[in-house]
Amino acid sequence: MRFLVTGGAGFIGSHYVRLLLGGGLTPSSVTAVTVLDKLTYSGNRANLAPAQADPRLRFVEGDICNARLVDELTAEHDVVVHFAAESHVDRSIQGAAPFVLTNVLGTQTLLDAALRHRIQRFLHVSTDEVYGSIAEGSWTETWPLEPNSPYSAAKAGSDLIALAYHRTHTLDVVLTRCSNNYGPYQFPEKVIPLFVTNLLDGRKVPLYGDGGNVRDWLHVTDHCVGIHLALTKGRAGEVYHIGGGVELTNLELTARLLEACGANWEMIERVADRKGHDRRYSLDITKISEELGYVPSVDFDAGLAATVAWYRDNRAWWEPLKAKADPPR
């Protein structure tokens, strides 16, 4: 099977590619993997270095909004696994245009090409943030979408377009929505790598508001396993939730990161809360568990310790990224 992986030089996409080529995802018969990535600030070819010697891997630098390029590449593949997206909430608050352009128009461009060439399956990767915030209980896949940030609104738009192509054109589309990911190679603007790399450098870390916002934490390997199950076994036109089953407040997460890095609470800098900050996310994963056999397997404490160790041991990867990054103001 020939895979076109968009955003495959990013955090989650590159992990998927490494697992796919390394035999860590089953069932799969992989004859070719093409990564299409624009290499924006968070895309990094170094993320694919462990797989670069594999003759099945091809890298193409390009934009998913480039209809001609997308059409040419789609024609050569059997399935599309669509990770490419602008994904940082803070950046979307400062400027929403790139999020709408990439997440909505880019997805539509890919879907048009997939339809022309009757791709066997289009797997669209999304997020729990499209649901907004939930005070108690957990979202099922039929929950109404109520996004609160420009990022999540753009992702919700891409979700609806993808599902519409299935319903209107019978294109084989499957959609996944995940909770917060963590693991190696995550760009150091997200909370876990930001806090870890700051603490390793003896710098303070910013904690939003009262630290009471709740997130479910999912190791990137478990996420990729869930994606591949949905790709290979999921039903066309369906949405599947992929969660980790570990709910923590940001304050609880911060305590664990401080301990892991040998730091104390003096390293915390309280900052004003984010605009429209969702209070709590929680996905019900019953559907993917019962239908496809998904069970998160990475213990959070072990996964977090391994993640901290990876950043400690791989300064050569993240130091240049932090040095040149232009964080949102």
Contacts 24+ apart (CB under 8 A), 140-147: 140/241, 140/284, 140/286, 140/287, 141/177, 141/238, 141/239, 141/240, 141/241, 141/284, 141/287
Residue 151 a catalytic site member:
yes
Start-end of H helices in the chain: 11-22, 67-74, 89-94, 97-99, 107-116, 150-169, 191-200, 220-233, 250-260, 286-292, 300-313, 315-324
Residue type present at position 202: G
Catalytic residue among 129, 159, 189, 216: 129
Instruction: At 257, give phi and psi (nearest 5°).
Output: -70, -40
CA 58, CA 47: separation in Å to the nearest integer?
14
Catalytic residue among 16, 131, 151, 240: 151
- Alpha-carbon torsion, ordered 29, 23, 288, 305, to 10 deg: -160
Q: Dig out the tokens for 217 from the structure.
A: 């934490």
Q: Is omega for the bond preceding 27 within 30 degrees of 0, making it cis?
A: yes
CA 193, CA 214: separation in Å to the nearest integer?
18
Residue type present at position 290: E
Interstrand relation of 205-208 and 173-178 (parallel, antiparallel or unpaired) = unpaired
Residue 131 a catalytic site member:
no
Interstrand relation of 214-219 and 79-82 (parallel, antiparallel or unpaired) = unpaired
Minimal CA–CA distance to 274: which of 329, 198, 193?
329
Minimal CA–CA distance to 252: which of 220, 300, 188?
300
Distance separating the N- and C-terminal Cα atoms of the chain? 44
Residue 128 a catalytic site member:
yes
Catalytic residue among 128, 189, 216, 278: 128
Q: Indicate which residues carry an active-site annotation.
A: 128-129, 151
